[in-house]
Structure 1
């Protein structure tokens, strides 16, 4: 299909739901499966660049809303109850101004590096130098990225919660000449300025807030400028940079080379320092154009709240702009996200399993509520699930109006498409959310190394439990993992390590040829390298990919049995009582143990019931005392075991000892990455005393627990 047509695309998918991938004839090799392509759209290609993608949205309607935020309301002393919008035309003007100002800095010599230990300096050309963004989600971050696309420069994004060591490593490793950031990060940068010889300009942006300064307070920009001058670094406000560019606009400098480096995307680094994935203009083009054949949402209103440095959020925003949609940026505070949603009223929303599990857990908790409210919700959910299983319908004329309209209102009331990625999501969670939110919630799969464009559930596929077929335009195959017991000749379904090939696969890690060689494997047919994902998958009866294990995160217990620790963790984390869960096991121990951070409100109710006294969710000391109580701990563990039995997990996958703690795992205490993945090795070090205590007792007797619900 050379020209995209929505109705034709939907019909094409409908014709291939029973077999969503096709094997390339004659492609089977020893130790590998056949090569699979998307059955509906096997040969989609794109020669568009990241620069073209924005212009395509711009050309649909230059006056349409593009990027929005909640401005500061001086009268209220708080954020406004509305979104203020830049149009596509405003955004185009602003990105040209930013790019023009940077061109002027090159001409003025502002971006020439400080002398190194040999007295040598490095002077950039007009193109190909790196510019970094470090901060929360906001419109300016996207304008910066668009400006760099327009002038063939490289964008580097840092997670908002990076610490000093990692952030400075990335700035140095990427040789970033300019950093756009908020005043809160300026001290970290300037305290480490001697380690950053390439960094020459700081551009300050701040969240909306009061305009007036307190008595005796000096401007943050003035203070930063005086401090930075000591290190030969120039400081500007974002507004001043835009005005500089408006005063002297320069023509865009656009590279048409598909191999041009558009971005260095740093992985979150669960072990060691993050790696820099090289993302080219060609990678971006197919990844965004190909989504049109899968997502089917045009001119949507989307909310931006997932980390901008993550390839999932960055790619999604590019897609929204490609189809002429609008992006509203959340307030920057997670606790106000529901408020942002209700004001913005988005029509599309990305998510991750961690968030979806918590939403599903809250709905499940309400299902157990006594009285009429609980009765009605149970009736409604059961009726809709029965209807869904029979027809695939996610709406119901009676129950939606009576019950689920209020649930949808929590997300603004207009959401009609949600997707999830970054980790597997349980089928029962997706089913519950589809019927409770009346939304087409679909799961996808991808990595930084393939621009998060790998697989996506097909439209109207009601058979859950997969991440869908390989995406249009790229190829998938499996590689035998005999040491783990997975082969491509397994029956009934082939299994093995998942591999991808195609235009979206990255060119390697910047400055790390060893890791690149470990990640990319040249094919025998000479048609380009295969990306080794490290995930184990199988191809099901519908020609879809199912993630079954992780090559590197399998742990072996003392019996010699392997456990897919992250899969089991995700299953148990759906318990409504759970905020965070970390499971641990190794080859010297015969069973799994867990460390859990409870969700305060349901945990307070749970502990009150066990202790037969009131425990308040607002009383941190009372919560900590309850978490340390042996009776509460045992009762909590029993709930995990009940859930495991209902989900039919293996005996060795059950949690046999548990530690409760009220302090969450976080990037600040070193136990999580900026993408909120647990640093397993660091957790094992920091919590060694807890692990030793858990393993000092006999494992809990599973026969003492039946699978009845609370």
Structure 2
């Protein structure tokens, strides 16, 4: 296969080379296109007919729910049993019945229905049922704050919301005063059904998922026409870093572009298993699961709270979802991968200095060979890394990572620990999540692959930041994405749509605001973000996102925000520390390890030691002098969507963070 993966065309554009991708994936994509199987319901029908009795969706049985109290907080722990599977035929028939059920409720084609629930099989099946009935799904992250959820509900004027028992209490706070919502459909809990959901919202019609399915079985509904490729499938609310979340209008054709990208890149077939735990409220997970269905692969549903043996909701003695499902493929975001790495390294350190040094040396060797294993690599897997692999089931072959830039260090460590391919992808909700993605056989680092099929990537000069397509040795500029993946625009935001989207030569384009560089193989490397680039008084530019991505790879950092005043010559940072690592640093200073996290964060000696550690780490990772923080503030307060410091996708909200820590930032600059 040629090393050229992206082909340069006229006007600073790049496309994917036609022969790149696995052959079965290319054939499947051609078959779907040739037979006009482009909408999400059509793909489920195609696979339901083709794969029949093969396992499609698996959900773990909840045996027992136990509430524990710790430090005044109530913690839910679950005892879980085996996965229970539904076949492709069963899932498709459920979807058809639910389509009839929602139509029998009086909902019409082109109407909107909101999904506000955690990732689970019923979420997917119900949403596709609504699409099959010609409706548009409004997706809302469950970790959007209440104002964000209320904004999405009000703006779209939905009269029906699908939710879970666990989220009914939030809707009870959000919906009073909202006269437009008439109906709530509740996805049942395995043990409690819908509990007291009907009493929670007594003024509304409250139905269970099962009741809607029964209505569908009894309904006399004929000739469901289904959606067209250019109908709006989803209004997907993005968790913007400023202001209210925006509703992105995504058509079935948009989603299909992301589906085909995954199909062409993934070496999967019936018998493989995909572990689903990321939010279905984002197009990345929705498109991935639809691609998985198109390939006839099984989906085992999970959540970040039950993923591994040490996940917060797993009861002692219960096996985590990954060990039980034994997936061969999964998706992830860099934050989750960094936490997996920190968890593994922490467990190794507890085994003593010898075990820690042996593991470290073995890990360094496997990173150095980067997937080119021999006899020694297989020996190390047998003796050391198979125990690590077992945490994610022991069969993992393929991982796709997106949502944010991934560091070379994280990429190498994950591949070394788990022996899987790790394919970085790049995109935004406005480009159906996936504009470029790496090939499975690509072991190079630092890029996120060539453009996906039927997608064009263009670089535009950004003179203010000093990035130009004519730059040597490689062209640089703002990344502009064109093709079928580009959304129709923002819901009820014509000015914002006009600023970010445009048509040219029959192609729809989206200005991403990211700064990219195209390498000699036609692969995209994200090197900056226009909003994150700050010019120091000395004239040097600092990329805040890049500095944060580098420093976040250290074990002491759980989260970090770097600040850069253009009237200064240095950066400062606020860090949410990882508790276990911070206590080790404190112990090295002869501090009392039993001190609570807040006390350690306020200890001047501890802060000084953490700063010195991060400065050393930054230098080792090739940050320059101007990029390395000269002062540091530690906070024990976690950053969550609820307190408004991160988005629902866990991205930093810089303006709220600056406002929240304004006094500390001023003090750091005054002292540095």
State the TM-score, normalizing by the size of structure 2: 0.90
The residue number in structure 2 matching 1:82 is 82
Cα shift at 1:78: 4.1
The residue number in structure 2 matching 1:667 is 641
CA shift in 2, pair 1:239/1:36, >3 Å: closer
CA shift in 2, pair 1:393/1:656, >3 Å: farther
In 2, Cα distance between equivalents of 1:434 and 1:41? 22
Is 2:570 the partner of 1:591? yes
Q: Which has the larger radius of gyration?
A: 1
Cα shift at 1:249: 5.4
Cα shift at 1:411: 0.8
Cα shift at 1:566: 1.0
The residue number in structure 2 matching 1:224 is 200
Cα shift at 1:591: 1.4
Do the aligned partners of 1:578 and 1:596 also contact (CA within 8 Å) in 2? yes
Cα shift at 1:589: 2.7
Once the two structures are superposed, what CA deviation does each residue of 1:675-704 show, in whole Å capped at 9, x if it has no partner? Answer: 111111011111112112212202xxxxxx
Cα shift at 1:57: 2.3
Aligned ranges 1:123-162 → 2 under 5 Å? 126-162=108-144
Cα shift at 1:90: 2.1
How much is the aligned-residue C-alpha RMSD, in angstroms?
Answer: 2.5
Is 2:333 the partner of 1:352? yes
In 1, Cα distance between equivalents of 2:342 and 2:175? 46
Cα shift at 1:190: 4.6
Do the aligned partners of 1:265 and 1:309 also contact (CA within 8 Å) in 2? yes
CA shift in 2, pair 1:39/1:641, >3 Å: farther
Stretches of structure 1 lacking an aligned partner (at least 5 in a row)? 1-14, 112-125, 212-217, 699-710
Is 2:343 the partner of 1:372? no
Is 2:669 the partner of 1:695? yes
The residue number in structure 2 matching 1:615 is 593
Cα shift at 1:613: 4.2
Secondary structure (helix, strand or coil) at the match of 2:130 reads helix
Secondary structure (helix, strand or coil) at the match of 1:293 reads helix
The residue number in structure 2 matching 1:64 is 54
Secondary structure (helix, strand or coil) at the match of 1:86 reads strand
The residue number in structure 2 matching 1:335 is 312
The residue number in structure 2 matching 1:243 is 214
In 2, Cα distance between equivalents of 1:189 and 1:408? 40
CA shift in 2, pair 1:367/1:340, >3 Å: closer
Cα shift at 1:385: 3.0
Do the aligned partners of 1:360 and 1:574 also contact (CA within 8 Å) in 2? no
In 2, Cα distance between equivalents of 1:393 and 1:692? 54
Once the two structures are superposed, what CA deviation does each residue of 1:539-596 show, in whole Å capped at 9, x if it has no partner? Answer: 1122211111011221233334321111110110010111111111122332111111
Do the aligned partners of 1:288 and 1:319 also contact (CA within 8 Å) in 2? yes
Once the two structures are superposed, what CA deviation does each residue of 1:649-673 show, in whole Å capped at 9, x if it has no partner? Answer: 1111101111111111111211111
Q: Which deviates more, 581-590 or 146-155?
A: 581-590
The residue number in structure 2 matching 1:487 is 468
Cα shift at 1:253: 2.5
The residue number in structure 2 matching 1:91 is 91
Secondary structure (helix, strand or coil) at the match of 2:320 reads helix
Secondary structure (helix, strand or coil) at the match of 1:685 reads helix
Is 2:8 the partner of 1:23? yes
CA shift in 2, pair 1:313/1:206, >3 Å: same
Secondary structure (helix, strand or coil) at the match of 2:515 reads strand
Do the aligned partners of 2:188 and 2:209 also contact (CA within 8 Å) in 1? no
State the TM-score, normalizing by the size of structure 1: 0.85
In 1, Cα distance between equivalents of 2:434 and 2:566? 35
Aligned ranges 1:574-653 → 2 under 5 Å? 574-610=553-589, 612-616=590-594, 622-653=596-627
In 2, Cα distance between equivalents of 1:464 and 1:75? 44
In 1, Cα distance between equivalents of 2:114 and 2:290? 18
CA shift in 2, pair 1:181/1:362, >3 Å: closer
The residue number in structure 1 matching 2:171 is 189
CA shift in 2, pair 1:371/1:679, >3 Å: closer
**Alignment size in residue pairs:** 640
The residue number in structure 1 matching 2:392 is 411
Q: Which deviates more, 281-290 or 392-401?
A: 392-401
Secondary structure (helix, strand or coil) at the match of 2:143 reads coil
The residue number in structure 2 matching 1:473 is 454
Cα shift at 1:269: 1.6
In 1, Cα distance between equivalents of 2:14 and 2:388? 43
Is 2:366 the partner of 1:384? yes
Aligned ranges 1:179-578 → 2 under 5 Å? 179-193=161-175, 196-209=178-191, 219-224=195-200, 227-228=202-203, 233-248=204-219, 250-251=221-222, 253-255=224-226, 257-299=228-270, 300-331=272-303, 333=305, 335-336=312-313, 339-362=320-343, 371-388=353-370, 391=372, 396-523=377-504, 526-578=505-557
Do the aligned partners of 1:384 and 1:394 also contact (CA within 8 Å) in 2? no
In 1, Cα distance between equivalents of 2:240 and 2:347? 37
Cα shift at 1:103: 1.1
CA shift in 2, pair 1:182/1:371, >3 Å: closer
Tell me which protein shows more strand as a share of its residues. 2
Query: Which among 144, 151, 171 is matched to residue 169 of structure 1?
Result: 151
Secondary structure (helix, strand or coil) at the match of 1:242 reads helix
Cα shift at 1:74: 5.2
